């Protein structure tokens, strides 16, 4: 079977990572019909936007995409291309596994955590009011009237919507993922002791949804501050975690750190029938064009994509090859060496070639 997949080259180190990841995925033997498209700051001059309609159309048509990182542009009217993409395609779930591979330099061994982050609402909804603007003053007056609380006039305001509908679909996604992957527990993480109505609703929905999975998957709740400490002290007791947008963003970086850093942290964004796979890290502009950064995170996002496409054998083969190369520690990029200036570090392309060779 040939899979139609959109490959978004991104900007910064994106195009280098996209090229290597494509070569590695092709080398698995799985047949892809790639639609290679560009998005990001490098095309703004030519296209007038960092996110051209043809990119969205291609993803909508193919339903599956793998995306290299994109810089958040300043002054184009886009808060973030990545956030815009998630919103426009209603990619409501962000899945970020954090797993230690032997050979990765990290203080922790045997990390196997999965962060499921809500992608569409919360403080990321982009509903903000700038300090001193007339509309901000109106909002402040209205809130003061309704809440009987005082807000300083020189405040900026951000709105945090948490809906029953979106909470339910992300929590169900987390439970369904746990069932499918044979995982034992879903932990819902918020700050509901303080945000009783928004985060409180997230917990309330969690308890309702958990009833449908009783006997199959355990459900528990943790406060985000406590969760950060517990993950550092005893990460082995956690499994799948489900969180509203902002907490999910922060906690997934924490988990990536436990598992060895951004260089090895993959991810996927899922909508009803669309999936876009991407590394957790950004476009690292200072390394652009240097053939230097680690391709592992995007390649492991490719492993997630192979699973999604039902190409399980190829996914296992590729993950085993990545594991072998990392464990050997020879053909790896600078960030995986004991010293960052190690002269034996290889480039992005060379690490990709070593992974292809390791697949046999």
Q: What's the sign of the alpha-carbon dihedral 29, 32, 36, 40?
A: negative
Query: Between 242 and 280, whose beta carbon lies closer to ligand NAD?
Result: 280
Quote the least distance from Cβ 282 to ligand NAD, whole Å.
2
CA distance 268 to 116: 10
Q: Which two tokens stand for residue 8?
A: 């978004």
Smallest distance from ligand NAD to CB 137, Å: 31
Least Cβ distance, residue 293 to ligand NAD (angstroms): 4
C-beta of 15: minimal distance to ligand NAD in Å? Answer: 13
- What lies within 8 Å, CB to CB, of 6 at 6+ separation is 34, 35, 37, 55, 58, 59, 62, 64, 65, 66
Q: What is the radius of gyration, based on Cα positions, of the chain?
A: 21
Nearer to ligand NAD, 210 or 251 (CB): 251
Residues that bind ligand NAD (CB under 6 A): 69-72, 82, 262-263, 278, 281-286, 293-294, 297, 335
Residues annotated as catalytic (active site), given as ranges: 124, 191, 225, 249
Q: Which is nearer to ligand NAD, 85 or 192 (CB)?
A: 85
Rounded Cα distance between 37 and 354, Å, is 26
Give dist(CA 184, CA 64) in Å, integer: 28
Q: How far is the CB of 280 from ligand NAD (least distance, A)?
A: 7
106-110's contacts with Cβ under 8 Å and 24+ in sequence apart are 106/258, 106/259, 106/260, 106/261, 107/258, 108/235, 108/258, 108/259, 110/236
User: Closer to ligand NAD at the Cβ: 151 or 250?
Assistant: 250
Q: How far is the CB of 41 from ligand NAD (least distance, A)?
A: 8
Assign 190 to helix, strand or coil: strand
Q: How far apart are CA 160 and CA 100, in angstroms?
A: 34
Residue placing its CB nearer to ligand NAD in the complex, 223 or 250: 250
The first and second tokens of residue 211, run together, are 């009833």
Output the smallest distance, CB 169 to ligand NAD, in A: 22
Backbone angles phi, psi at 72, to 5 degrees: -80, 110
Structure tokens at 124: 């990321």
CA neighbours closer than 13 Å in the CB half-sphere of residue 41:
17
- 18: Cβ–Cβ under 8 A, 6 or more apart, which residues? 7, 8, 9, 10, 36, 66, 68, 298
Q: Which is nearer to ligand NAD, 171 or 351 (CB)?
A: 351
CB contact at 8 A, 357 and 342: no
Of the pair 165, 344, the CB lying nearest ligand NAD is at 344
* Residue nearest to ligand NAD as judged by C-beta position: 282
Q: Could you tell me if 322 and 316 are in contact, meaning their C-beta atoms sit under 8 angstroms apart?
A: no
Question: Is the CB of residue 251 less than 8 Å from the CB of residue 191?
Answer: no
């Amino acid at each position: 079977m040939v899979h139609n997949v959109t490959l978004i080259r991104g900007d910064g180190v994106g195009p280098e990572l996209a090229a290597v990841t494509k070569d590695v995925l092709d080398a698995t033997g799985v047949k892809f019909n790639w639609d290679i498209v560009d998005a990001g700051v490098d095309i703004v001059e030519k296209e007038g936007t960092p996110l051209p309609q043809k990119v969205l159309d291609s993803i909508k048509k193919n339903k599956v995409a793998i995306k290299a990182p994109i810089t958040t542009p300043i002054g184009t009217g886009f808060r973030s291309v990545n956030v815009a993409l998630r919103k426009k395609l209603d990619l409501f779930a962000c899945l970020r596994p954090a797993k230690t591979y032997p050979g990765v330099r990290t203080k922790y061994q045997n990390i196997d955590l999965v962060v499921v982050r809500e992608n569409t609402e919360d403080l990321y909804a982009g509903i903000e009011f700038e300090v001193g603007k007339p509309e901000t003053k109106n909002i402040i007056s209205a809130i003061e009237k309704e809440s009987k609380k005082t807000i300083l006039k020189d405040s900026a305001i951000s709105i945090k919507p948490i809906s029953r509908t979106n909470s339910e679909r992300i929590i169900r996604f987390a439970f369904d993922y746990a069932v499918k992957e044979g995982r034992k527990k879903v932990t819902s993480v918020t700050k509901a002791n303080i945000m009783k109505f928004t985060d409180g609703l997230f917990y309330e929905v969690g308890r309702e949804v958990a009833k449908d999975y009783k006997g199959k998957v355990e459900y528990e709740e943790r406060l985000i501050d406590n969760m950060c400490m517990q993950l550092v002290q005893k990460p082995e007791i956690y499994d799948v975690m489900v969180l509203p947008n902002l907490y999910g963003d922060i906690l997934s970086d924490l988990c990536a750190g436990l598992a060895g850093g951004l260089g090895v942290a993959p991810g996927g964004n899922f909508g009803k029938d669309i999936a876009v796979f991407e590394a957790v890290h950004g476009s690292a502009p200072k390394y652009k064009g240097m053939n230097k950064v680690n391709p592992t995170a995007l390649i492991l996002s490719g492993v997630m994509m192979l699973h999604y496409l039902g190409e399980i054998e190829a996914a296992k083969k590729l993950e085993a090859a990545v594991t072998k190369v990392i464990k050997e520690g020879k053909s790896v990029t600078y960030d995986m060496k004991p010293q960052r200036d190690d002269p034996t570090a290889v480039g992005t392309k060379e690490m990709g070639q070593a992974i292809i060779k390791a697949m046999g």
